[in-house]
């Protein structure tokens, strides 16, 4: 049975028009990109550039935790491109047969600690997050940022007792910026994008868990040519520059 999310995506695409290429054959005027939540800001910019470069084509994004996106793809959700925040979830998608071709690594990201402005709890290190009474929010283990958190816990011997485990890194950030937590673990790019709504506290142990982001065209897409062009834009000079400006490292 398809989930409500899958049905919602299908409904969103229902009624999308088609355009005629030079040969007179129909091609999709809309491409749907499934992308990790941490890519929301930079992919919105890349999507705008793609639409400018491809008049008549509209890019629709579905941003969520990478593990949730893989589940949706496995359940038959329509999509043209998938960009994951780690190689593990992309491998799951490949093994499930929902990916066409070879995924391409296009960015890397690491975790940082974020607190509300002013850092009222006085957090200064990763170990501080395990202090009794500290309200820390992290990503769920199946989500790339959660998997990275587990790696850091194992590398440091510090075990966290989170008050909440979220399904997307943006949800962790939201809990911190709204004052519902003393601290959270998010990607450096999310912390940068939060501006003065959060304070970022880098910690050296984050180097133990660097997440590499792959992107690929989804199998069975009716807009294969457009999907491939979007992947090329992300992995090409424009995409690399946009990603670097947003704080992503090279893969």
Q: What is the DSSP string of 152-213?
A: HHHHHT-----SEEESSHHHHHHHHHTTS-SEEEEEHHHHHHTGGGSEEE--GGGGG-PEEE
* Known binding residues for molybdate: 38, 66, 169, 187
pLDDT of residue 8: 54
pLDDT of residue 152: 97
Nearest to 180 by CA among 193, 198, 195: 198
* Known binding residues: 38, 66, 169, 187
pLDDT of residue 29: 79
Pairing of strands 183-187, 111-115: antiparallel
The pTM (predicted TM-score) of the whole model is 0.86
pLDDT of residue 9: 56
Domains and CATH numbers, the chain: 29-108+213-246 (3.40.190.10), 109-210 (3.40.190.10)
Distance separating alpha carbons of residues 220 and 97, to the nearest angstrom = 10
**How confident is the prediction along the chain (251 residues), in pLDDT tens digits per residue?**
334 454 455 545 544 434 334 333 434 479 999 999 999 999 999 999 999 999 999 999 999 999 999 999 999 999 999 999 999 999 999 999 999 989 999 999 999 999 999 999 999 999 999 999 999 999 999 999 999 999 999 999 999 999 999 999 999 999 999 999 999 999 999 999 999 999 999 999 999 999 999 999 999 998 999 999 999 999 999 999 999 999 999 99
Structural contact between residues 111 and 135, judged by C-beta atoms closer than 8 angstroms: no
């Amino acid at each position: 049975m398809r989930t409500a999310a899958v049905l919602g995506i299908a409904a969103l695409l229902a009624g999308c028009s088609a355009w005629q290429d030079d040969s007179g054959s129909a091609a999709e005027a809309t491409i749907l990109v499934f992308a990790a939540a941490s890519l929301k800001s930079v992919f919105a910019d890349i999507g705008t550039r793609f639409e400018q470069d491809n008049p008549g084509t509209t890019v629709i994004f579905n941003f969520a935790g990478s593990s949730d996106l893989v589940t949706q793809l496995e359940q038959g959700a329509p999509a043209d491109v998938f960009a994951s925040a780690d190689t593990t979830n992309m491998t799951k998608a490949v093994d499930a047969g929902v990916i066409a071709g070879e995924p391409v690594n296009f960015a890397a990201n690491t975790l940082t600690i974020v607190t509300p402005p002013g850092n009222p709890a006085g957090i200064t290190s990763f170990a501080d997050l395990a202090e009794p009474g500290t309200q820390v929010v992290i990503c769920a283990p199946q989500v790339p940022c959660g998997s990275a958190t587990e790696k850091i816990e194992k590398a440091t011997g510090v075990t966290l007792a989170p008050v909440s485990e979220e399904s997307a890194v943006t949800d962790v950030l939201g809990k911190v910026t709204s004052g519902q937590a003393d601290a959270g673990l998010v990607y450096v790019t999310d912390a940068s994008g939060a501006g003065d709504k959060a304070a970022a506290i880098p910690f050296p142990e984050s180097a133990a868990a660097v997440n590499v982001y792959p992107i690929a065209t989804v199998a069975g897409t009716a807009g294969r040519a457009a999907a491939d062009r979007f992947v090329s834009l992300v992995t090409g000079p424009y995409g690399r520059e946009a990603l670097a400006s947003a704080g992503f490292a090279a893969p």
